[in-house]
Amino acid sequence: MSEQMQVQLDDRHPTDHEPSTIAAESTSCSGDSTSSSTSSSSTSSSPSSVSSPSRTSSYSVQIEKTQVSASHFRKIRILGKGDVGRVYLVEEKQTKKLYALKVLNKKEMVKRNKVKRAFAEQAILSNAHHPFIVPLHHSFQSADYLYFCLEYCVGGEFFLALQQRPGKVLREHEARFYAAEVIAALEYLHLHGLIYRDLKPENILLHQSGHLMLSDFDLSVRSPAVRSPTIVHSSISSLFSAQPMLDTRSCSDVRTNSFVGTEEYLAPEVIRGEGHTSTVDWWTLGILVFEMIFGYTPFKGTNRHDTFDRILTLPLEFPYFGGNPYFNGTDASGACKSCIRKLLHKNENKRLGARAGASEVKSHPFFKSINFALLRHMRPPILPSRQARPIDAVHFKNIKESVSFELEDDHSPSSSHPPSSPIPMPLNDKNTESSTDDPFADFDSVTVIRPSQ
Ligand code: ADE
């Protein structure tokens, strides 16, 4: 294994959201493949937003320059902690609305070479508008921190919800529901030339409605050129439907070499370091479906080297019973196993989704009962408690904040404020054309206005 392999890996099941990304630019492709939206509080703009809104080139959202700062929010509690930042449950003082505020420490980002990732995450989140992608409401910076003000997902991490199920597993139809929502979100991203690259239960949040939302786009990468969807004429032997399909892999031509992702979820081609395409997202979907149904990931080894070795060489095996209390001695269905097996094809060119992207995955018999256009109207299997108040954040782990962070103390609205001590320039992380020495000079403070639901 190369040295490069060791560098950008996340540990499995960190205690929080660890932000980490690759830079991205804006795209000029549009089209939302899913019909409706889930955000319950997405159209408000901050009381202190300024300047006239400009229509962005894509994704159908409006972006305004903003003067929002940390002092507009009241901190309620910490929700998550990572190496360069924390996520807080906050209340906007004027509207009393709850948000999740992701606070990234500029110095730590420079130290850990994660500046580009924050820019990428902002570019993606500020343009995205999809029911299964966490909406960004504002992003801004102070002298020492970057802030992402996100929709608060009351149901918390899908990972925790899964851990709390008997046997840490879901019934097959429940797993199918979440897999379908993930496919819808990945289809949207791929159509916009983005590869998500970090699908795992920790990066899936549960909205108040019970529908899922993908979060953490810091590992996502964008295609430099986005091509329009094309029609693929299927051959029955390789696809499940004789109907022509829409090839939604707008980013299929992107090959990227970065070694990123989460150990147990890494695709073989990522480990081999040969470059990878959007097909890596279908591999990670296969691992996710397996984990939801059987309660563990299929290639987990005794250590990192062993795990990689298994991913590269070990044939996929299904447990008969898998410790899953719902199966009552029966097995996962043939369609379910076939879908997982095809998603976990070690040859990326033969993997389900390699030919026509999401439409190919949706056409697998495992998803026959799913009406993708009506997903948002289906009743989710896990519903966040209706008794508990959202402000009590009952679906989150209790995390100790070693050093208390006070939003009230951080008044400076922009990078024009000098940092409390100089931020060193990143060594090989030149993400901007800026003439200043501030690597965050081009981080825009924006308010995102999404179309009303
Ligand atoms: N953790 C990270 N982002 C979050 C969000 N948007 N809602 C709840 N918890 C989160």
CATH homologous superfamily of 158-255+278-377: Transferase(Phosphotransferase) domain 1 (1.10.510.10)
Query: pLDDT digit string (tens) for 140-194?
Result: 999 999 999 999 999 999 999 999 998 889 999 999 999 999 999 999 999 999 9
Query: pLDDT digit string (tens) for 116-151?
Result: 999 999 999 999 999 999 999 999 999 999 999 999
- The answer, yes or no, to whether any atom of ligand 1 lies below 6 A from the CB of 80, is yes
DSSP 276: B
- The answer, yes or no, to whether any atom of ligand 1 lies below 6 A from the CB of 124, is no
At the topology level of CATH, where does 35-154+391-449 sit? Phosphorylase Kinase; domain 1 (3.30.200)
Which pLDDT band, with edges at 50, 70 and 90, does 407 fall under? confident
**Consecutive H or E run containing 151:** strand 145-151
pLDDT for 408: 67
pLDDT for 59: 56
Average pLDDT, the chain: 80
DSSP 84: S
Report the C-alpha gap between 344 and 267 in whole angstroms: 8
Beta bridge partners, 262, equal 10
Q: Which residues, including other chains, have CB under 8 Å from residue 154's CB and lie 6 or more apart? A: 206, 207, 208, 384, 390, 393, 395
| Model confidence at 48: pLDDT above 70 | no
| Model confidence at 267: pLDDT above 80 | yes
Nearest to 25 by CA among 426, 431, 429: 431
pTM above 0.95, yes or no: no
Q: Which residues, including other chains, have CB under 8 Å from residue 262's CB and lie 6 or more apart? A: 9, 10, 11, 12, 198, 200, 202
- Residue that wins the pLDDT comparison between 27 and 117: 117
Mean per-residue pLDDT, 35-54: 39
Query: pLDDT digit string (tens) for 364-394?
Result: 999 999 999 999 999 999 999 889 999 999 9
- The answer, yes or no, to whether any atom of ligand 1 lies below 6 A from the CB of 79, is yes
Q: At what angle do helices 279-294 and 334-343 cross, to 10 degrees?
A: 140
Report the C-alpha gap between 320 and 294 in whole angstroms: 10
Query: How many Å lie between the centroid of ligand 1 and the Cα of residue 160?
Result: 13
**Where do the domains of the chain lie?**
35-154+391-449, 158-255+278-377
Question: And the tokens for 15?
Answer: 């205690």
Which pLDDT band, with edges at 50, 70 and 90, does 21 fall under? very low
Indicate the top mutation candidate among 15, 40, 41, 87 to test ligand 1's pocket, ranked by most ligand atoms within 8 A of CB. Answer: 87
Residue type, 165: R
